[in-house]
Amino acid sequence: MQLGLIGLGKMGKNMRERIRRAGIEVVGYDRNPAVSDVASLEDLVAALAAPRIVWIMVPHGDPTTQTVAALKELLDPGDLVIDGGNSYYKDDAVNADSLAERDIHYVDCGVSGGVWGLEEGYGLMAGGSREDVERAMPIFDALRPEGPREDGFAHSGEVGAGHYAKMVHNGIEYGLMHAYAEGWELLEAKDIVTDVHGTFRAWTRGTVVRSWLLDLMVKALEETPHLEGVSEFTTDSGEGRWTLMEGIDNAVPMPVLAAALFARFTSRQENSPQMQAVAALRGQFGGHAVQMLDDKADVNPAAQPKVERGQSTEPS
């Protein structure tokens, strides 16, 4: 069996290696010639015997759309394209319909596993026809973790279902990460807890909050105790926003995801405009001190109280 793999970044390169270990021939293409097996998409297609299977592992949006358009002109009827990136699920129908004009088949596949997938395997969520998914099953089996197929792979539904499932997965991930982060900050804030890292490590066995994310939190604290020097600036790659939009469209309350996503937005603001407004309002209605950015001018500086943790300075 052969596979063409487009995109050999942090995940794609490891996926190529894991699939090869399963005995499947992989021809990889990347714009970086240092990691690419061939010089162009044309060379990749020429190296595969028809009917071909080509897996796209590039950033969502224009890079994926452009790659699908290029493959539409290069592949033959009966070939199969799998999009394994983090594409927006509504794009899948557009890409599938475009390829169908030349009788080229399409499957979308949500992939979870990050840089650890090479050794641990990847969680996979596929969307497409039963026939197309079955055709690619040896590849999915090579990528998923060892053990029963259903523990690491799901045929989630029709085209778009795989990326929809991965989108929701990432939305849940946002909430879990933020819950651990809040717990870590509270433990660090209280002097009574002197071994925060050890406490987190103890949670990794036998407790109801154990998870792989918790294991990674312990690893992060081992590498950087108290997370000294780590910037709070946190990006988001889109899936959290899309999940929240779906919650709104379907009247599904998602306060945990909303809080986690908005916290990421806040992390990118050097000086939050919202909190500037709050500080100014507190100065107006309660005479509370308003600290200025140049640290030189205060409004009603005599009103600045000394606040102990847990006390409130709001007027009663």
| 93-144 per-position pLDDT tens digit | 999 999 999 999 999 999 999 888 999 999 999 999 999 999 999 999 999 9
Task: Establish if 288 belongs to a structural domain.
Answer: no
**Strands 123-127 and 105-112, bridge-based pairing:** antiparallel
Active site residues: 166, 173
Note every long-range contact of 310-316, with CB atoms under 8 Å and residues 24 or more positions apart, other chains counting.
313/288, 314/286, 315/285, 315/286
Comparing CA positions, the residue from 110, 81, 112, 114 lying closest to residue 9 is 114
- Last residue in a domain, options 106, 123, 158: 158
pTM comes to: 0.85
Give yes or no for a contact between 91 and 64, defined as CB atoms under 8 angstroms apart: yes
Q: In terms of domains, do 6 and 150 share one?
A: yes
CATH number of the structural domain spanning residue 83: 3.40.50.720
Q: Is a pLDDT exceeding 70 seen at residue 299?
A: no
Q: In terms of domains, do 148 and 172 share one?
A: no
Comparing CA positions, the residue from 143, 174, 145, 142 lying closest to residue 247 is 174
pLDDT > 70: percent of the chain: 93
| 177-224 per-position pLDDT tens digit | 999 999 999 999 999 999 999 999 999 999 999 999 999 999 999 999
Q: Which domain holds residue 203?
A: 166-267
Terminal C-alpha separation, the chain: 73
Give yes or no for a contact between 6 and 47, defined as CB atoms under 8 angstroms apart: no
Average of pLDDT values for 287-309? 54
Task: Establish if 301 belongs to a structural domain.
Answer: no
Question: At 80, which helix (H) or strand (E)?
Answer: strand 80-83
| 18-43 per-position pLDDT tens digit | 999 999 999 999 999 999 999 999 99
| 271-297 per-position pLDDT tens digit | 777 777 788 777 878 777 777 777 544
CB neighbour list of residue 310: distance below 8 Å, 6 or more residues apart: none
